[in-house]
A = this chain, B = another copy of it.
Amino acid sequence: MNGIKFQKNDNLTPVIIQDREKKDVLMLGYMNDKAFRKTLKTGWVYFWSRKRKKIWMKGEESGNKLKVKQVFIDCDGDTLLIQVELFGKAVCHTGSKSCFQNMLLKRF
């Protein structure tokens, strides 16, 4: 569907989530074909949970939902970039806006 090449071993594709306005990278999740279709149909981001082995809507429990603004596919067709509007304050389960809070290295 839509030219996405899902990974052969698990039928998933990585999905980069980026804040539409501030352009912060918020998280990386995974979708299977069904999660991708639900995302397009509803306008809210759904992922495949590799831990729980099921589709879930991001924010279904926390309320921190991701409203789809723009969807891009990369040149290889195997990665998605979804620009979103964040409903709520945090994407990360730690309470941070982004999951990428831990800096390993800074160079000037």
Contact = CB atoms under 8 A, between A and B. Distances in A.
A55 interface: no
A62 interface: no
Interface size band for A: 35 or more
B104 A72 contact: yes
Contacts of A14: 14, 28
Nearest to A29: B79
A48 to B, nearest CB: 15
Interface in A54-108: 68-76, 79-81, 92-94, 96, 99-107
Contacts of A107: 43, 68-70
Given A71-B106, A76-B99, 16 more contacts: A14-B14, A16-B25, A18-B25, A22-B23, A23-B24, A25-B81, A28-B74, A28-B79, A68-B105, A72-B101, A73-B100, A74-B102, A75-B93, A75-B96, A79-B100, A81-B100
